[in-house]
Amino acid sequence: MPILLGSIADDYTGASDLANTLTKNGLATVQTIGIPDPSLALPDVDAVVVSLKIRSVAADEAVDAATKAEEWLRGRGAGHVLYKICSTFDCTDQGNIGPVTEALCQAAGGATVLVTPAFPETGRTVYLGHLFVAGQPLNESPLKDHPLNPMHDANLVRVMARQSRGAVGLIDLATVTAGPSAVKARLDALRAAGVSAAIADAIFERDLETLGEVALQTPVSTGASGLGLGLARALARSGRASSAGAGTTDAMRPVGGLAAIVAGSCSAATLRQLDIAEQSMPVLRLDPEKLLAGSDEIAAAISWAGERISTGPVVVAASASPEVVSRLQARHGREASGHAIESATATIASELVARGVRRLVVAGGETSGAAVDRLAIPAFLIGPEIAPGVPVLRTIGNPQGDMLLALKSGNFGGDDFFTAALAMMR
């Protein structure tokens, strides 16, 4: 069956967030890790989300991987491809939102690309091109302290222009409120003026429904789960979607086995969730300096977890406050610290799976990418939602056998997320 909607996600937590939104809004969806091997049996679905780990790599590498994924999705019938970015517009002045958006647009024959990270359900809104995170301008939100891509400018037209070759325009709220024809007319006018991408305002889900309807008439769009909601609802309204939530029942079958949580996110929400988890389960706080010094800290963590895991879930966390992260980065460099810690948490996750863990929660986008790659999991069915943006995932074609995972975006989830997740993963 040809797919209706294709998506390329720039990280794995973002991919599961989008797959959750598409499923909830009427599209049977599967999440793949990279372009799947032809031998992998995937269910018949309306939408495929190809997860890539390209948010923090060099722009040319990101463009190359995204272009190949676009080709693969078009080959499976996708009429529209959504480039799934973070709802907090995580990027640097070098990219990768601008370069990838422009490359995908070119591959699809042009047209001005509609871009919006709005995701009202998690408090991300865009007004006059400025992104607000739970009511705070992006540059005043906790994203100003992100370990890999600190965000210092809430004006997305400016942010996107710094990393794009073409001009960047705005579709303001007045136009969005006027409905799909007004948005389409504005997009056409921007295209005639040679503008390659347009940041669209959106505050409420109804704005995203308008934007989704217009985006669907174009080959490519760029956005977060909010735009996914708009696209999915437009497809469902058109009567083309097969059925809501296919895969969810299968995804809920219990897997048993041991349970663990591995955290590498330093986001404010994850730091709070770790404090709360400490009240109900053993939590090991890794020493980042020791992690960078060699493998002893990893071995000690595996042995600590091994002694406790048969009696209940354990948490292993590299996560630290912005001050601790800054000190480490000042000594070892931003990228080197991030990558070394991702590699360490991935090793810990895979060693825990080797010791019988079949229910695994990973906190952090890059952290999840490194762990899922290390486990060589090829794809996921989408299960029930634990918190907005975070579903239970069930592995497809996993070399370790069936597992349930939750890949939690650093900033998502309530304070009791970890216990809530494990309660749903049986």
Ligand X SMILES: O=C(O)[C@@H](O)C(=O)COP(=O)(O)O
Contacting positions for ligand ADP (CB under 6 A): 13, 147-148, 264-267, 288, 318-320, 324-325, 328, 337-338, 341-342, 364-367, 409-410
3-state secondary structure 218-253: CCEEEECHHHHHHHHHHHHHCCCCCCCCCCHHHHCC
Stretch that binds ligand X, among 10-18, 20-28, 252-260, 335-343 (CB under 6 A): 10-18
Q: Is 14 in the site for ligand X (CB under 6 A)?
A: yes
**Number of residues written out for the chain:** 426
Q: In a 3-state reduction of DSSP, which class is residue 68?
A: helix
| Residue 17 in contact with ligand X, rule: CB under 6 A | yes
Q: Which does 87 bind (CB under 5 to 8 A by kind): ligand ADP, ligand X, none?
A: ligand X
CB of 177 vs ligand ADP, minimal distance in Å:
32
Closest residue to bound ligand X by CB: 365
Nearer to ligand X, 258 or 344 (CB): 344
Q: x/- binding map, residues 373-392, to ligand X, per CB under 6 A?
A: ----------------x---
Which residue number places its CB atom closest to ligand ADP? 410
Strand-by-strand arrangement of the 124-127 sheet:
124-127, 130-133, 136-137
Q: How far is residue 104's CA from residue 221's CA, in Å, rounded to a whole number?
A: 9
DSSP SS3 for 70: helix
7's CB contacts (< 8 A; 6+ apart) are: 15, 18, 22, 47, 48, 49, 50, 73, 81, 82, 83, 84, 228
By beta-carbon proximity to ligand X, the closer residue of 7 and 88 is 88
Distances (CA, A) of 347 to 236, 297, 340: 41, 11, 11
Residue 29 interacting with ligand X (CB under 6 A): no
Question: Which one of ligand X, ligand ADP, none interacts with residue 125, CB within 5 to 8 A by kind?
Answer: none
**HSE-up of residue 354 (Cα within 13 Å, Cβ side):** 12
Residue 267 — φ and ψ, nearest 5°?
Answer: -70, 155
Q: Are 115 and 199 in contact (CB under 8 A)?
A: yes
For the CB of residue 193, give the shortest distance to ligand X in the complex, in Å. 29
CA distance 24 to 232: 9
List binders of ligand X among 396-425 (CB under 6 A). 409-411
Task: Tell me which H or E stretch contains 394.
Answer: strand 390-396
Q: Does residue number 116 form part of the binding site for ligand X (CB under 6 A)?
A: no
Stretch of 8-16, 24-32, 297-305, 332-340 lying at the interface with ligand X (CB under 6 A): 8-16
Q: Which does 88 bind (CB under 5 to 8 A by kind): ligand X, ligand ADP, none?
A: ligand X
Dump strand ranges (E) for 293-356.
Answer: 314-317
Of 118-137, which residues contact ligand X (CB under 6 A)? Answer: 119
Site size toward ligand X (CB under 6 A) is: 16
What is the pattern of x (binds ligand X, CB under 6 A) and - over residues 203-232?
Answer: ---------------------xx-------
Report whether 273 contacts 418 (CB < 8 A).
yes
Q: How far is the CB of 252 from ligand ADP (least distance, A)?
A: 25
Residues that bind ligand X (CB under 6 A): 11, 13-14, 17, 86-88, 119, 224-225, 364-365, 389, 409-411
